[in-house]
Structure 1
């Protein structure tokens, strides 16, 4: 980067990047799992899966909030030489870096259906839902503070790309209109031209 600037990715976009693939892998694996009677039977598998879904949503949605809040309070303003990464690039980078883990989780969820039908698939779907809820919470914080949170891209390359991981030392912030993603990491809706 020229003159000491850093590449920055939106924290909410990184959090949200895994939500859709985990959800769809989980739903598909659970759907296939329901077709297999398994060792425990479908009813027990679906009930166990529902419990795992609820636990996964709660744990994933709440995990890391304190660290994100602490890093957000100490966020310095992004400099004029910092480069804000596009939403699509951040999502693509995260998904490429985690594609083998996603595939392994999907295969494991399918394989476990022969023991406990649908349970592991619903666990994956709960994980994806928890990530979506965490991104929504982060979006509400960003709107309330009128500041978007960003993390250095080189810090995301370490330890699995977690935006609140140990490798992340601090966040940067910008105004609410910066970048191409809305608060919470979703696509920014542009007003129709009249």
Structure 2
């Protein structure tokens, strides 16, 4: 890239990128795991899994909110030469960078089913649900501030991933209509693009 030009990825899209893979890995692992009687029995496993799901969703949804708020409050307007990364590119980069981790988490959740059926899968699904909740929270903040939040791509680690990590110094902002993702990181509806 030319000097002064920065690639920017949507903060909410990076947060949301892990939600679907974690959710579906968790659902599949829980579905397969419930077929195994395990050491504790299915009933205890499912109840333990439900508790883990709720705790994981809550913790994931609220973790790091202060840092997101601080960075969002100090966001400066993106320059006219900044390049806004497409939603699909951001999601693909995150998922490629986390493939091994997601596979390991899936197999660990399956393995845990031999002890506590379905609990590991429900924990993973809870993390995915928490990321959706966090992205929705970011979307509400973006709508309230009438500005979308972006992070420099080179400040994200090479796996595509922590939009509020230590390497991130500040966010950039644009108008609410910029880019191809709606507030919260979801796809824009076709009618909104016209």
Tell me if TM exceeds 0.5: yes
Q: Is the 8 A contact 1:30 1:121 kept in 2?
A: yes
Q: Distance in 1 between matches of 2:134 and 2:149?
A: 14
Q: Distance in 2 between matches of 1:174 and 1:123?
A: 35
Q: Is the 8 A contact 2:109 2:121 kept in 1?
A: yes
The offset of 1:191, in angstroms, is: 1.2
Q: Which residue of 2 aligns with 1:11?
A: 11
- Mark the runs of 5 or more structure 1 residues left unpaired by the alignment: none
1:94-121 CA distance string (max 9 Å, x none): 0000000000000000011001100000
Q: Which residue of 2 aligns with 1:32?
A: 32
Q: SS where residue 80 of structure 2 aligns?
A: coil
RMSD: 1.5
Q: Which residue of 2 aligns with 1:63?
A: 63
The 1:193/1:27 distance shift into structure 2, 3 A limit, reads closer
Moved over 3 A (4+): none
The offset of 1:161, in angstroms, is: 1.3
The offset of 1:192, in angstroms, is: 8.3
Q: Is the 8 A contact 1:27 1:121 kept in 2?
A: yes
Length, aligned pairs only: 194
The 1:35/1:12 distance shift into structure 2, 3 A limit, reads same
